[in-house]
Amino acid sequence: MEIHTLILLTIILYLTFHAYINEKTDGSYSYTKYIPKDNDNIKKLYRKIEGCLLVNKQCIKWRRSYVSAIIGTIIIFSFIHNRIPNINEALLYIFVIYIVYYISWEHFANTVSKDVEIIGKNIIKRIQKYKKYV
């Protein structure tokens, strides 16, 4: 195996483990800090609602995209091509799949999640406005 291939493989493996471990530790469960508790006051509950509305916007999409690209590349070469890719093929597939996933998640965060965030904040403002009359 050539040295540049070994270096690229090491980088790919390092990024994969780094992305996977960090996504597992703080990405997937970032919303759990917003779960209401019995002793939360109204102000804290409002902050938790606002925080929950921002979770998808604040998630780190490159890690999800990268891990998904690695998995997608493995699936494609395992089941479709029935072989192990060379380093150039692997990099090309990882790059293309990564771009597709990243653009998809960014699009979702900037369209659907943004609308949900705006609607949620407007609901909070209305509740605060009507709370004065109760």
Residue with tokens 């990024």: 15
pLDDT at 127 over 60: yes
More confident residue, 79 or 1: 79
Q: Which two tokens stand for residue 76?
A: 């494609």
Give the residue from 65, 73, 102 showing the smallest Cα distance to 90. 73
Cα–Cα distance measured from residue 13 to residue 23, given in angstroms and rounded to the nearest whole number:
15
pLDDT recorded at residue 73: 94
Q: What pLDDT digit, counting tens, does each position of 30-83 carry?
A: 677 788 888 888 888 888 888 888 877 777 788 889 999 999 999 999 999 999
pLDDT at 133 over 60: no
pLDDT at site 134:
45
Instruction: Kindly write down the DSSP assignment for every residue of 102-126, as one continuous string.
Output: HHHHHHHHHTHHHHHHHHHHHHHHH
Q: What are phi and psi of 59, to 5 degrees?
A: -65, 155
What total number of domains does the chain contain?
Answer: 1
Q: pTM higher than 0.85 for the full model?
A: no
| pLDDT tens-digit map of 88-106 | 999 999 999 999 999 998 8
Residue-level pLDDT at 79? 93
Q: Which domain holds residue 75?
A: 3-131
